[in-house]
Amino acid sequence: MQTVQRAIDLLLYVAETGRAVGVTEVAQRLGLPKTSAHRLLKTLTYRHLLEHAEDGRYRPGLGMLLLSPPSLGASALTRAADPLLSSLAAALGETFFLVLRRGDQLIVVHKVEGSGFLRASPNVGSAIPVHATAAGRVFLAFSNDLGVASPLTAYTRRTPQSAARLERLVQQARQEGWALSVDEWHEGLAAVAAPVCCGERLVAAVAVACASARLRQLGERQLIQATLNVGKALSRAVSGVDKS
């Protein structure tokens, strides 16, 4: 039981510091011999709750996503997603986002800018509306306990403003496995989003945003497939942690 308590204390400490920690620091923090601290760090790393940083210290791993809240593993998921999103942003010229849930809010935790005019919005750390975005509909479609505040805020003429219409859109996203929004949050803004899952559990959404007029030029199907591919790749990474 004492070992379990120390493991929990260590994970909470790493999450609170928001940076990589070393063996000496952990030993001092938990009041352990360095050999015991090192053994505990190795065990948590083996279970992917921690991972090695470039300097050999330890930071949160993808396994943190399997804990509650999922934002504990955001940094690890961001590192896994960055090369995939960077490659697509460079190839398509559009901006890709990674969105996580924190309580009842959806927060942009990572963003890779393309060369288009939409590079400035939304920013990392920004909350996005649940009912008026593609990422929001992914969370509504694949989460069982996320609600939407009523009345629904009308950002544009195309924003869903009734529970019935929103439910139809959510059901469509659930059936197709992705969501599309056009001019619903901002005029001239289109987005495609796909889920990132660990088994049946939704842990994040990946999205691409472009000018609405660019949808036909880029190819709606191409954007959907590119976003789905990233979502599936990240889902495999997270699910692989769960099975190891």
* Dihedral sign of CA atoms 34, 243, 134, 147 in order: negative
Higher pLDDT, 49 or 160: 160
Q: How confident is the model at residue 242, as a pLDDT?
A: 47
At 175 the pLDDT is 96
What H or E segment, with its residue span, contains residue 172? helix 163-176
Return the C-alpha torsion angle 80, 69, 54, 82, nearest 10: 20
Q: Note whether 143 and 202 are within 8 A (CB).
A: yes
User: Mean pLDDT over residues 74-103, rounded?
Assistant: 85
Which tens digit of pLDDT belongs to each residue from 154-194?
999 999 999 999 999 999 999 999 999 999 999 999 999 99
Cβ density class 109-137: b for 16+ within 10 Å, e for less: bbbbbbebebeeebeeeeebbbbbbbbbb
Higher-pLDDT residue of 39 and 62 is: 39
The CATH architecture of the domain made up of 2-60 is Orthogonal Bundle (1.10)
What residue segments make up the domains of the chain, in order of their start?
A: 2-60, 70-243
- Helix (H) or strand (E) holding 46, with range, is helix 34-46
pLDDT in tens, 206-244: 999 998 988 888 889 989 999 999 999 988 887 665 444
CATH number of 70-243: 3.30.450.40
What is the average pLDDT value for the chain, to the nearest integer? Answer: 83
